[in-house]
Every structure is written in structure tokens, then in C-alpha cells.
Structure 1
Amino acid sequence: MGSNGSSNNRILVVGDDEMMSKMLRVALANEGFEVIHAQSGEEGYESAMRVSPRAIIADVLLPGMDGFALCRRLRQSPNMRSIPILMLTSRGDMGDKITSFQAGADDCMTKPFQAEEIVYRLKGMMARAPVPALASAAPQKRGRVIATFGSKGGVGKTMIATNFAVALRRRSGKQVMLMDADFAFGDANVHLNLPAGSGVLDLVQLVDELSPQTADKVLSVHSSGVRALLCPAHPEDAELITSEHVQKLLSYLTAQSDYLVVDCGANYDDRTLTILE
């Protein structure tokens, strides 16, 4: 059984899909979490206020108050503003995802999903959540990480990532970055109509001394205002990028943006797991 690293191991799952709730209960229990289940938005809100869960998973479609309204209402409470919220939607378009982020959610996944991925995403959100004991310290700005992942190529994940980044930038007006983390076979530049370049390799070489001036020289800028960190032009150069590099790049890019959209490679290597965690 995994360790979650906190005395508060309660995860609140809000949804009326019994099969989904059972799958999440089993997957999260295997990682040492206690799952609390609520079937409606109103019940979910009451449970959240009563038990102060470590994280919340909520379906968009709920009886009564929907997931968006639940998220907005939770974020109005000071005690709920830093608790990670992961939304689930059965619709494949970007509308629900953008509305989720605007409501205050930290992530949004499309159903059906793999239990392994949702556990990784949940752990990643909790790892980035502020520590209550340090609440008095000045918070450092961190953008939200939104990752697209597919276990095989050709499923359209890069198109989703690029279109989502552009739509998020245009609708929110906030700072949006895109990182093409399919280091060997990425083609985000094609979808964004940007020229290929060394991109991430230039930042990797300076990963311990990154600065806005350095990044501006490497990041490609789309007409929408999205700034993109592109993959290497040559597939063999992908091996020069390590999981440690990826971790440092994520830390830097999230400090420089409101949203960081990451298009992952179609595998579960250490670099992809670093992003999903």
C-alpha cells in the first residue's frame, strides 16, 4: 500500500456514477487514501466543509448543483481555496475543460480514463498544493499544469493540447505556455504553424541558471500570445533530456505563467511520470 505523506488521507469523490466511484475507491485505497463519496453537488459541498478532504474529485454532471457550481462555491470558502479539485467530464470538447479552470478547478479529465493516470494527476496536484503550516509565508506564484497524455500515438492529443492552449489564452487573457514534452516525435510546432527549432535543448543547457531573458530567446510565440517550448528538431536529441531537467523546467515555467499546457509523450517513462506527478 502506498503512502500519501500526510495525516489527512481523505479524498472526496462527488458523482452519481456508481461504477466510476467504485473504481476510484479501489485505486485510491491501494495508495493509502480513504475515499468519501457524495452523490450530488449539495452533498459534496456539505461533506467537503465537514471533513476538509485533502483533495476533491467531482463530476461535471451532478444531480442538483453541477460540478462547476460546486467548484465555484467551494472556492468562496477560505478553507477550500487551496484544496486540489479535479473535475471529470464525459464531453470531449474543450468547453468543459475551460469552464472547469475558470470555476477554480486545478485539473479536468475526460471520461473514460485510466485509474493509474488519475492517481498520478491527483498526487501531482497534492504535491503542489500549499502546506497549511506555511500559509503565513508569502506565496510564490505557480501556474496550473494541464497535461495531455495518450498511451499510443495518433489519438489527437497534440491537437487537443495546442487548440486548448490557444482557446485558454484567448478566453482568459492570462499567461499561457505550452511545452511539447513528446521530445522524440512531438509536432506541436506544426499545429501552431511555428518553425521547428532546438527549443527545449537550449533551456536544458542552462537549466540551473534560467532567467526570463534566457527563456524569451528560446520560447516561440504563437499569434494568440501562447508561448511554446518546442521539442528538439532531431529525435535522437531526446535522450539528452532527463527527468531532472523536466522537473526543473516545470518549476520554472509554472513560475512564469498562469497556465502551463504540457503535451506528453506516448509512454510512461520517467520524464512523463514526472509531469503527471
Structure 2
Amino acid sequence: MKAKILIVDDEPYLVRLMEYALKAEGHEIITAGTGTDAIKKAETEKPDILILDVMLPDLNGIEVAQYLRAKPEFVHLPIIMLSALAQVTDKIEGLKAGADEYLTKPVDLREMVVRVTMLLERRALTQPKAAPPASRGKIITVCGPKGGIGRTFTATNLALALTKTVSRKIMLLDGNRQLGDIDLALNLRQTRTLADLLARVDRLDAELVRTVMATHSAGVDVILAPAHLADLQPVQPAAVRKVASALLDMCDYLIVDTQAVIDDFTETFINIADVIVLLVQAEISTCRNAKLLMELARSDGQTLDNLIVVLNQFNPSDELQPADIEKILYQKIAVKVPANHELVQYSLNRGVPVVVSHPKQNVTRAIFQLADLVASNDDKRIAPAGGLFEAAGSLFGRRTS
């Protein structure tokens, strides 16, 4: 049974002897010479067993053991205490501090190896079985092929509508890393942002995420975009996935507001989305670019069974009608959000979403229709439109099927 073992002793010669004996058994060894260093390495390295000398230059072994035992992650950590003191009262103090075994110096290396083996076997037998993995949260990526198409308006209102539609934990992420506006759309302030998560992708935990989150009065947790363009750093898809994983551990639905420019950040959130909300408008250029975005998603492995097309700012008098757009995209429009520029501007300028300020407006009803689709179609296919005409393919020079 191989293990990671932390040896804490200020006698270098003894440390080398113990290290040699334990490495011969195939164990990985980490060492520390002070109590402070021992605590630091225990917290960062997460050893499987701790061999701890009582007499150390700063904190003594008793204090180190007491400190670690007080933390939940070290409650079951096997500890072997070392000391030149052989009195029964000394051993009792060590055991009270949380030691599982007590060895006196000079250390018999053969006995030490046997004690280590026994503790590891005992730990394996008493270790609680892992609980079945919790169901994974779902990523809802809101995207659109041009600026001003309504991504932020849709994402913020969808997040708040979901709080009224499902009894789930909702989180909203401003993925427009360059010019994010969710802070204004929801009238939120937070000094820490998405940039803080991306800067620590290898050390993400719930505590860090909580320090970054802002919370809207409706109960939606929000991760805001970087406040300054100077905070922007290149980001890799692996880093985006780590951030997504950390956030999904803390919510049931993660709504991601993206940007018009398709960078690695946006593309990754499209690729890993459980539901893609694609916004379009009644414009030829917008529909063409939406089709190109769909092709990009397919080329990255998305089947687009999870696609919800939303026709935003819809006006019945538009020259390009919903049926025309469906034929261009080879995809059915699921939701039509009526045009109401005055209401949208009123909402964004005041930082109050329409689902809160104007619950009976047609725009709000359309948002709730989208929320119902997101909540009820987690495992259902959004069927593509039928009866598509040949001209759509020639319009853009290529077709998708």
C-alpha cells in the first residue's frame, strides 16, 4: 500500500534514515524541519500519514497535532509521534493531541515501517466509502453572433426567471471578459471578479469562489467580468473548464453571458454547454453569422440537439419573418421576444431586470417561456425545422445537416 508520507523532524540525519527506509517500501516522502513548515506542507500536500517529532524549533509536535486535528480534512490523518521522552505521561500527552502511535528515539526503522503499514491498512478499512457523485449542474450558454443582440439582457432576466421557475440554485457568470455589463444590468458591485478565479485555476475552492461572488436580491449568485481591461490575461480552454467545474459544484444552473467575439473562453463555454441559447434577429447578416457559429459548434463536437434559438427584438412587420429565418438556419425558432426598445433601455439603465419591474409585459412572458424550455428540456431534443428550401444553402455558400 503506497502512500504520501510527511516526516517532520529537525534532525537531518534521522530524517534521511527514515526517508530511505520508507522509500524502499515505495512510499513518497515529504519533509519539514519546523512546526510551521509542517502545517503548511500538510495543508498543501495532503499527506496520507504524518510522522511528527515532539521537539521542534518553533511550534512543538503536540501543538502541530492539535492544530491539524481541529481541521475537518485532518480528522482521520494517521499521526505517528516521535520523541526521546519515554515517560508514560509524555505518551499520554501525545495521544491526547491526536497521535495514533508513539515511537521513542532512537527510532527502530523496522518497527517504524511496520507501524506505518499497520496504520495505512487500518485507515483503508475504516475510511468511509465515497458517496455517490451528486448530479452535475447544467451550463446554459447564452450566445449571439453580433454586439447589441441582447445577450446580457437575456442572460440576466433568464437567471432571475429560473429562480421563479425551478427550486434550484442559480448562478450567473459574465463571460464578456472585455466589456461585461452584468454589474450594471443588475446594479451590483464587487471588487473581486472572474479575473481572480482565472488567476488561481489550480487552487480553486468554494471559499475562493464565495469571495468573488456577488449576490442579487433575487438569490442569484453572480460572477462579474473583470473591472479593468488591464486585468485581462490570455486564457486556455483547460482553465475555463476548471472554472466551470468549480462553479458547477456550487449551483444547479450556471447561466453564462458570452461576447460577440469568439475567443477560447466563449468557444469553450459553447462546447461544454448543456443548453445553448442562440440569439438571432431578423437580419440577413445576423442569420448568416448565427449559422457560422452553429457550424463552429458542430466542428467542435456539439450535435446541437441542445440548441434553443431565440428570435430577439421580433417585430411582425419585419421583412425577414420567422419562417424565413428557420429555413436559413435549418433550425426551429423556440422563442420570439417582441421588440420593446424603451422597456429594455429602461431596465438596463436602472439595473432592474424586466422580470422584476414589468412581470406582465410580453417581453417578460417570452423570457419565462425560455426559462420553462431550459428547465423542462434538459434531456429533450429541440427539434429542427422541417421543409427547408434549397435556396438557403446557396445563400451562404454552404449547408449543414
| TM-score, length of structure 1 as denominator length | 0.48
Pick 1 or 2: higher relative contact order, CA cutoff 8 A, min separation 6: 1
Structure with larger Rg? 2
Tell me the TM-score normalized by structure 2.
Answer: 0.34
